[in-house]
Chain A
């Protein structure tokens, strides 16, 4: 059972938008920056969002991040079939002294 809670799956149609939630606690999301990763099968995870809402160079502005209290959200607009992947949130947890990840959310673009 993950320290961070994500929905196991979300699905939507091409061109639409989706949000993926990540719920944590005061020892992780509440006080540390959140990152989001995209993971396609057979490839290395890719950093999409860091410091709650910053995008690395090369990541399109269709991807966005936000945080409120002990929850974070990844938003994706203009969905494409190529966005089908597993998405993970990650953050440092001060109580555990460990990096923790959500259980992952499988995005299906129907």
Chain B
């Protein structure tokens, strides 16, 4: 069956970067996009962008453009999301999800940014 397994929780200082991985199994990795969504404490879901796992094409949400980089390694069926210049507002649970629609989700990665 389909699984998306994300890397573990991270604690970062303001100004640092974080890279979250999302390893897919149970399906052909390059047949589906991977999208990234985050949820800050007490907030709703916020879309960050997607990556075409076949071509590598990307689409970022305007909010994150210039700070986020999404990549993938097809040899190990893994997608990555790197967010730079972290602030406390970036403290959130980050999810990867297969799309579309967002039918399978990773378990989430808590990123805590402290000053």
Contact = CB atoms under 8 A, between A and B. Distances in A.
Given A44-B95, A97-B59, A99-B35, A50 B103 contact: yes
B16 interface: no
B44 A47 contact: no
A88 interface: yes
Interface residues of B, number: 20
Nearest to A54: B101
B102 A37 contact: yes
Interface string B47-63: 10010000000010110
B101 A51 contact: yes
Contact of A98 (B44, B61, B97): B61
Contacts of A85: none
Given A45-B95, A90-B45, A96 B62 contact: yes
A51 B101 CA distance: 8
B46 interface: yes
Interface stretch (B70-78, B80-88, B104-112): B104-112
A64 B62 CA distance: 32
Interface string A12-48: 0000000000000000000001010101000111110
Interface of A: 2, 33, 35, 37, 39, 43-47, 50-51, 56, 86, 88, 90, 96-104
